[in-house]
Amino acid sequence: MLSLKSKYRTHTCGELNEKNVGETVTLSGWVHRKRDHGSLLFVDLRDNYGITQCVFDGGDENLEKIRPESVVKITGTVVARDAEAINDKIPTGHIEIKSESWEVLTNADVLPFQVFGDEDTSEELRYKYRFLDLRREKLHHNILMRNKMMKWLRDKMWDMGFSEFQTPLLTADSPEGARCFLVPSRLHHGKFYALPQAPQMFKQLLQVSGFDRYFQIAPCFRDEDLRADRLLEFYQLDIEMSFVDQSDIQAVGEKLMPEFVKTFAPDANVYPEIPHISFDDAMLNYGCDKPDLRNPILISDVTEIFRGSDFGIFANAVENGAVVRAVPAPKSSDKPRSWFDKLGEYAVKELGLGGLGYIVFAEEAKGPVAKKLDADRIAKLREIAGDNSSLFFICDEEEKAAKAAGKLRNKLGADLGLVNPRDFAFCWVDNFPFFEPDEERAGAPKFTHNPFSYPIATLEELDTKDPFSIKAAQFDMVLNGIEICSGGLRNYNPEVMKKCFDIAGYPIEAVEQNFNALYTAFQYGAPPHGGCAFGIERLVSEILGDGESVREIVAFPANQRGQDLLMGSPNEVTEQQLRDVHIQVRKRG
């Protein structure tokens, strides 16, 4: 490692310990905080590596006037702290510097918010002064940990025989499911580049070029509405492999991800098994395609139990095509009535339901639903719920019922304390539907996931089967209810590709126009190939914990309106700049 010593420091602020007692040292850093004890003045000096306590004789007015976050250089002797003054929370907590001289390198103005401590500061102010925000202990730690994680991932990919590539950031627009950021061309009048949503086509072209094992920690750009787990620009560990089937790709994730978690969250309990769950089973049993397996609650289809029953609301709905989903709440029979009432309010306000039916299974079944069911139906429902538990019911059309039941399952898991935040449970979700109805085209098929995926169907079956029954060789890896990876086998056969795009409403001319490079390359011998991509921000955020926004592990994020408050972007440009790229801005109507 390159020496950190210079004219400004002999050591860093996280380096000194009892072995250095008696040495004369020089440190430089930021004034983290000051404590005036009259005869003595204590200054906590901070740099990237830690904090060291420096002690001065009191009475120096110039020293007392130094503001927090000023940058100073201090020279002094390392001494052992008194036993009662030892701070075991920091590596330098057994020593302090008896200061002999000091120099202000730069003064700090009055701070817009405190760096020391946990002062609650608005997101707008934090992002405007992000360089100060990044000095705070927790955020600084997050960014350094992200740096270590990225290096670890890169080293592991090299160790597994992958080659690292960089693909273009100025490329062509392609319909991949999200809006692209467009960049006007100065040299080519009226034409635009697009920032890549992902390096999908380039990494496939590298396989056609014979490179066999590709990886890249790739920047991606999507002009989407923002949420806590979504950014306009983000990074992913992008992988592509030739001559593989789906299990070969997933083997990379199974080798990489559990070890990654154990390395950076050594106190975590990582579930040893990574089960495979079909999309259909995930929607039925968990109410979503991103199941959190730490939550033991399983949703059940109880439609047939209510069919023909005396509980008329559900029975009539079932006859008209509705389904009934049951969500158990383990060991909840002793909950007060107010608990059930609040869940009913949640169902109305948050889930958009008309109400929430339930049965409480104590010594006997209780509740308005139970009164309308015979003993045989009650027994079947008790078997699902278990004794001393409750069972909640959602009746609606299948997709709405599944999603509502999934949200209720998550809420019950949290409210009942069933989920340990330091548990880590992975799973694969497989066999996604290849097509789904497009509401904008009267229910005609459109691609559900990645249009480059391979269908689990022959050419003949693509001609004859119901398109909505066709599955894709597509998978997601889910960690604690968060999709951290998506991938699959690629549609490398030109004839199969044409047929799939034809079903999705793209004529061959559109395929040749939008995917010309890939389509042309496939005419000259393409290997069977596939790959996946792991979302860096989601993965790092989940491991660092506490459920914060992914922005808390990004050095310079945009806010939830897509604005960079530090740099002032997006911003207006001059008329000449617009002319240079042949653009005229229209006023909103």
Residue 559 lies in a domain: no
**What pLDDT is attached to residue 179?**
86
- What's the pTM? 0.92
pLDDT at 104 over 80: yes
pLDDT for residue 298 is more than 90: yes
233-286 confidence digits (pLDDT tens)? 999 999 999 999 999 999 999 999 999 999 999 999 999 999 999 999 999 999
pLDDT at 499 over 60: yes
Q: Is residue 388 part of a domain?
A: yes
CATH code, 67: 2.40.50.140
Q: What is the mean pLDDT of residues 413-424?
A: 94
**What is the C-alpha separation between 498 and 500, in angstroms, rounded?**
6
- Segment 77-87 mean pLDDT: 95
Tell me the pLDDT of the chain averaged across its residues: 93
pLDDT at 589: 65
Q: What pLDDT is attached to residue 176?
A: 59
What residues pair up with 412 in beta bridges, in sequence order?
Answer: none
Domain-embedded: residue 373: yes
Clarify whether residues 244 and 223 are in a common domain: yes
pLDDT, residue 546, reads 60
Torsion on CA atoms 81, 84, 86, 88, rounded to nearest 10: 170
pLDDT score of 175: 63
Res 202: pLDDT: 96
State residue 341's pLDDT score. 93
The candidate with the shortest Cα–Cα distance to 370, out of 311, 316, 326, 327, is: 311
Q: In this model, does residue 195 exceed pLDDT 60?
A: yes
Task: For residue 469, tell me if it sits in a domain.
Answer: yes
The residue-averaged pLDDT of 66-71 equals 96
Residue range 3-15: mean pLDDT, rounded: 95
Question: Is-cis flag, bond preceding 570, omega within 30?
Answer: yes
Residue found under tokens 């201090």: 74
Residue-range definition of the domain harbouring residue 234? 140-275+427-554
* Residue 391, domain CATH: 3.30.1360.30
Give the residue-averaged pLDDT of 121-138: 95
Residues 145 and 271 in one domain: yes
How high is the pLDDT of residue 547?
Answer: 56
Q: If you average pLDDT over residues 72-94, what whole number do you get?
A: 96
Q: Is the pLDDT of residue 84 over 60?
A: yes
Place of tokens 């089967």: 465
Closest residue by Cα to residue 237 from 408, 49, 528, 487? 487
446 and 407 fall within a common domain: no
Q: Report the C-alpha gap between 478 and 426 in whole angstroms.
A: 6
Q: Most confidently modeled of 419-433, 440-454, 498-512, 560-574?
A: 419-433
In a domain, 132, yes or no: no
Q: Is residue 95 part of a domain?
A: yes
pLDDT at position 63 is 87
In a domain, 549, yes or no: yes
pLDDT of residue 355: 87
Decide if 470 is inside a domain.
yes
Question: Taking the chain, what is the end-to-end CA distance rounded to the nearest angstrom?
Answer: 60
Q: pLDDT confidence of 177, banded at 50, 70, 90?
A: low
Q: What confidence score (pLDDT) does residue 70 get?
A: 97
| Single-letter amino acid, residue 569 | S
pLDDT of residue 587: 81
Q: Are residues 451 and 534 in the same domain?
A: yes
The structure tokens listed for 8 are 């400004």
Q: Parallel, antiparallel, or unpaired for β 529-535 and 182-184? A: unpaired
pLDDT of residue 18: 96
270 contact partners, CB below 8 Å, separation of at least 6: 258, 261, 262, 424, 426
- Backbone phi and psi for residue 465, each to the nearest 5 degrees, phi listed first: -85, 155
| Residues 399, 432 within the same domain | no
| Same domain (yes/no): 96, 183 | no
- 3-state SS, residue 392: strand
Residue 349 CA: distances (Å) to CA of 355, 404, 454: 10, 12, 40
Helix 137-159 / helix 536-544 crossing angle, nearest 10 deg = 120
Per-residue pLDDT averaged across 188-211, rounded?
A: 95
Residues 257 and 322 placed together within one structural domain of the fold? no
* Total Cβ atoms within 10 A of residue 286: 26
Q: Do residues 307 and 407 share a domain?
A: yes
Tell me, yes or no, whether 247 and 148 share the same domain. Answer: yes
State mean pLDDT over 337-351.
Answer: 94
Q: Do 399 and 476 sit in the same domain of this protein?
A: no
Q: Does residue 39 carry a pLDDT above 90?
A: no
Does residue 408 sit in the same domain as residue 305? yes
Residues 375 and 433 in one domain: no
What confidence score (pLDDT) does residue 506 get? 85
| pLDDT, average across residues 212-228 | 89
In angstroms, the CA 382 to CA 538 distance is: 39
Q: Which of 419, 439, 457 is the last residue of a domain?
A: 419
**Per-residue pLDDT, 483:** 95
Q: What is the mean pLDDT of residues 579-586?
A: 90
CATH number for the domain harbouring residue 201? 3.30.930.10
**Side-chain half-sphere CA neighbours of 516 within 13 A:** 7
Rounded to 10 degrees, the C-alpha dihedral 213/214/215/221 comes to -150
DSSP 261-302: HHHH-TT-EE-S---EEEHHHHHHHTSSSS--TTS----EE-
Among 106, 123, 151, the domain-final residue is: 106
- In this prediction, residue 229 has a pLDDT band, given cuts at 50, 70 and 90, of low
**Cα separation, 282 vs 357, whole angstroms:** 23
The total number of structural domains in the chain stands at 3
**Given 399, 419, 439, which residue is the final one in a domain?**
419
Single out the residue of 533, 537, 482 nearest to residue 142, CA to CA: 537
Residue 59 pLDDT grade (very low, low, confident, very high; cuts 50, 70, 90) = confident
